[in-house]
């Protein structure tokens, strides 16, 4: 995790994000600033994994949030466009996390299929076909590498939007900037 930048004080927030909604995200979540501000509209879009082990400390109405496996927004792009076009957000916090289930998903193929058979009543062949069709679209490989590639893809797609690649570590429930160099 040498590529992560710890944000333990105001001074640790990178200068380009200090006085922005991304800086405020760190103030609320990592630095535990009091949530006494009322937001009438979203300040940013947060794209993050659907994993239930992550919970952000933010005020109501502060952000649009799209939760999808691996923080993969490829198949949620219309929602991203809505937040930008209609919601008028200028910042995206793309949040990956360690120990993500979308990493090496092919190792969990049998568990995935059997879970659909046992829990959803699917036939084995249909569950296997479902896995084989969709797993390649959602496998992310390494969490940080995927996060940086998704950040680049979104920057290319939305060149006027400021996008911050962040990681959530499950061990301490903190957000970190990802060093892009």
Do 85 and 56 contact (CB within 8 A), yes or no? Answer: no
Question: Phi and psi (nearest 5°) for 104?
Answer: 55, 45
Q: What's the structural domain count of the chain?
A: 2
CATH number of the CATH domain containing 93: 3.40.1050.10
- What pTM, to 2 d.p., does this model score? 0.93
For 36-52, what is each residue's pLDDT tens digit? 888 999 999 999 999 99
Range of the domain at 109: 105-139
Q: How many Å apart are CA 77 and CA 176, to the nearest integer? A: 24
Residue 126 is given by DSSP the state H
Question: Phi and psi (nearest 5°) for 27?
Answer: -60, -45
pLDDT at 4 (0 to 100): 96
Residue 181 banded pLDDT, cuts 50, 70, 90:
confident
Higher pLDDT, 38 or 168: 168
Do 19 and 59 reside in the same domain of the chain?
Answer: yes
Do 121 and 53 reside in the same domain of the chain?
Answer: no
pLDDT at 1 (0 to 100): 55
Do 165 and 78 reside in the same domain of the chain?
Answer: yes
pLDDT at 36 (0 to 100): 87
Q: What is the 3 state secondary structure string of 141-160?
A: CCHHHHHHHHHHHHHHHCCC
Do 66 and 153 reside in the same domain of the chain?
Answer: yes
Do 64 and 115 reside in the same domain of the chain?
Answer: no
């Amino acid at each position: 995790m040498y590529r992560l930048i710890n944000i333990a004080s105001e001074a640790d927030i990178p200068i380009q994000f200090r006085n922005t909604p991304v800086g405020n995200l760190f103030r609320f979540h990592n630095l535990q600033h009091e949530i006494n501000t009322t937001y009438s509209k979203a300040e940013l879009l947060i794209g993050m994994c659907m994993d239930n082990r992550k919970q952000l400390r933010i005020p109501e109405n502060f952000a649009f949030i799209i939760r999808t496996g691996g923080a993969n927004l490829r198949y949620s792009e219309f929602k991203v466009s809505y937040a930008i076009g209609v919601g008028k957000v200028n910042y995206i916090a793309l949040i990956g996390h360690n120990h993500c289930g979308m990493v090496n998903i092919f190792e969990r193929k049998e568990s995935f299929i059997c879970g659909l058979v046992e829990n959803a009543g699917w036939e084995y062949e249909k569950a296997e076909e479902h896995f084989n069709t969709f797993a390649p679209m959602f496998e992310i490989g390494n969490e940080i590498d995927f996060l940086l590639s998704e950040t680049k893809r979104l920057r290319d797609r939305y060149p006027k939007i400021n996008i911050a690649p962040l990681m959530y570590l499950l061990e301490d429930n903190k957000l970190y900037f990802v060093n892009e160099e």
